[in-house]
Structure 1
Amino acid sequence: MREVLPHEADWSIHYGEEIIRFAVRRQPQRHRGSIAIHVEPPGRVVVDAPHDASRPTVLAAVRKRARWVHEHLASFRRRHLHVLPREYVSGEAVMYLGRRYRLKVIPADVAEASVKLCGNRLEVRSTDPAPAMVRAAMEAWYRARARAVFAKGIDDMLAMLRWKPAAPPMRLQAMKIQWGSCSPAGRLTLNPWLVKAPRDCIDYVILHELCHLKEHNHSARFFRLMDRYMPTWRQRKARLDELAEVILNQ
């Protein structure tokens, strides 16, 4: 889940009347001739290619799978049509750890806005119930919960790994198209909105990034690590992809 560098993003092909734009991640350890194509939520196309793959070679590989890419992009667009923009008002559905709650905005004479889970409701108490203030309070709450949930998830996952990497530094960064990333220096960056997802999906993202501490690529060795420690990671990823539009809709 490495960030795509800006200079790698100016790629596109034509498929019928559609222009398919994609980003390329250069991976020095990827075998020559091995090119992988991913369609990631909420509809970003990413191509993993060897460091020495030429532009014509990459374009030819994407053209060969253009129909498959087109169908996946169309699927993302269809799902997105059913996602309504957030209004931050009472009665709206919100998510936390894979469960849906009803938002309840309560005008109250309080020094500082507060957010609390109460049964099947997420209650926001504030002297100013305006949507902008409710949104700010909720985002602060999500970030606080994300930091605690992710920290525990990282500790639990590290205890399971046989190769025992040192605990990496972790930071939160809101992102529209990524759940997380791992820098070459070994720092994990996680999307705070991921805390809305089920715990098993959160664990999948955490393991993905921790495996990058050993294999900073998407090579066969990387996926063997994923399979060893989480044989069900593909199902978890698919579930997370299905929820992406709802979770990332801020």
Structure 2
Amino acid sequence: MSVRIPRTVIEANRPALSFWYGDEPISFERVGRSSQKSQVLIKVHPDCRVLVAAPLSASDEEVVQAVKKRARWVWLQLRDFRQQLEHITPRRYISGESHYYLGKQHMLKVIESEDEIPRVKLLRGKLEVVVRQRDSAVVNQLLDKWYRLRAREVFSRRLNAMMEQTLWVETLPPIRVLAMQTQWGSCSPLGRITLNPQLVKAPRECIDYVILHELCHIAEHNHSERFYRLMNQVMPGWEKIKVQLDNMANRLLSA
């Protein structure tokens, strides 16, 4: 199981349902609920994807009517997230841009020097990148390598710290850093934890949340009641941290 990143594209094999709110169409993706409860759950993601979990026994029309009852709330959520997305600009990898590391924004400073070895250094709140010739692609590659190296260090350190809270994990699980488009982290059936290097841009509590999530999957591979009991035990209030990470996803992945 894994901690997923909110996605902007609805899966092709799950056609969207929709309705009109005033003169604006609202589309959403329907998924089945794992529990037997009849309540319809609505989630608006920061990428403006609307996900509706509904009982399999309910017809599409019944689900649409249930979502319509909360149409204004859905519309307001979409409006707020769209306003946030308007402020996200594509990276150009030039001096003056801000890039995240451990939840904080650092100004990028690109230094051109034929005499120095290309490198990245975090110095006095600035990310200094030395290149022999100004090239956005080269700056991007150097930053990506730097983030991966720091991710390995930070993730290993936080995993060791989180082990003190997960008494059911007897030995330190192997950890892998791997770029993933849809996941912050995952846990294999054999207990290997994989983490997205982009996660190192998030605040420490968000990193701890993802690591603890995967450590709980070592004991319970599904999102069962036991899994959530373990999460509540090792990280009370984890839901707020998950929302914090979800809300930052677009900014972290574009910075």
> TM bucket by the smaller chain?
0.7 to 0.9
Change over 3 Å in CA distance of 1:99–1:132 after alignment to 2: same
- CA distance 1:196–1:2, shift in 2 (3 Å): closer
Q: Contact conserved, 2:108 with 2:129, CA < 8 A, in 1?
A: yes
Alignment partner of 2:178 out of 172, 176, 182: 172
1:18 maps to 25
Is 1:136 the equivalent of 2:141? yes
Question: 1:40 corresponds to which residue?
Answer: 45
**TM-score, with length taken from structure 1:** 0.80
Number of residues of Structure 1 aligned to a counterpart in Structure 2:
246
2:25 partner amino acid: E
Which deviates further from its counterpart, 67-76 or 114-123?
67-76
- Give distance in 2, aligned partners of 1:44 and 1:188: 27
- Judge which range, 154-163 or 129-138, deviates more: 154-163
Q: Per the alignment, do residues 83 and 217 of structure 1 end up closer, same or farther by CA in structure 2, a change over 3 Å counting?
A: same
Moved more, 119-128 or 219-228: 219-228
CA deviation digits over 1:24-71, x for unaligned, max 9? Answer: 3664xx335365433333333334566x55553655654554443333
Describe the shift of the 1:221–1:12 C-alpha distance in structure 2 as closer, same or farther (beyond 3 A): farther
Q: Residues 245 and 6 of structure 1: is their aligned pair in 2 closer, same or farther, counting only changes over 3 Å?
A: closer
Compare 8-17 and 150-159 and name the one that shifted more.
8-17
CA distance in 2 between counterparts of 1:62 and 1:186 reads 39
| Matching residue's letter, 2:176 | M
Q: How far apart, in 1, do the equivalents of 2:116 and 2:151 lie?
A: 24
Matches within 5 A, 1:35-184: 36-48=41-53, 53=57, 56=60, 62-109=67-114, 113-164=118-169, 167-175=173-181, 178-183=183-188
Shift of 1:93: 1.5
Cα displacement (A) at 1:133: 1.1
Tell me which amino acid in the other structure corresponds to 2:31.
V
Q: Cα–Cα, structure 1 residues 61 and 246, in superposed 2: closer, same or farther, change >3 Å?
A: same
TM-score by length of 2: 0.79
Change over 3 Å in CA distance of 1:26–1:9 after alignment to 2: farther
- 8 A contact 1:169–1:186 mirrored in 2: no
Residues 6 and 137 of structure 1, relative CA distance in 2, 3 Å threshold: same
Tell me how large the CA RMSD over aligned residues is. 3.2
Matched residue SS, 2:17? strand
Identify the residue that residue 223 of structure 1 maps to in structure 2: 228
Instruction: Extract unaligned runs of 5+ from structure 1.
Output: none
Pick 1 or 2: higher relative contact order, CA cutoff 8 A, min separation 6: 2
- Indicate the larger mover: 144-153 or 30-39: 30-39
Percent identical = 44
Q: Which runs of 5+ in 2 are unaligned?
A: none
* Pairwise CA distance, 1:132: 1.5
Q: CA deviation at 1:169?
A: 4.4
- What is the CA–CA distance in structure 2 between the aligned matches of 1:109 and 1:185, rounded to whole Å? 48
Kept in 1, the 8 Å contact 2:166–2:234? The answer is yes
**Which amino acid in structure 2 is aligned with residue 209 of structure 1?**
E
Cα deviation code 1:195-216 (max 9, x no counterpart):
1111112111222232233344
Q: Which amino acid aligns with 1:134?
A: V
Structure 2 counterpart of 1:170, which letter? R
Q: What is the aligned counterpart of 1:205 among 198, 202, 210?
A: 210
Report if the CA contact (8 A) 2:179-2:198 is conserved: no
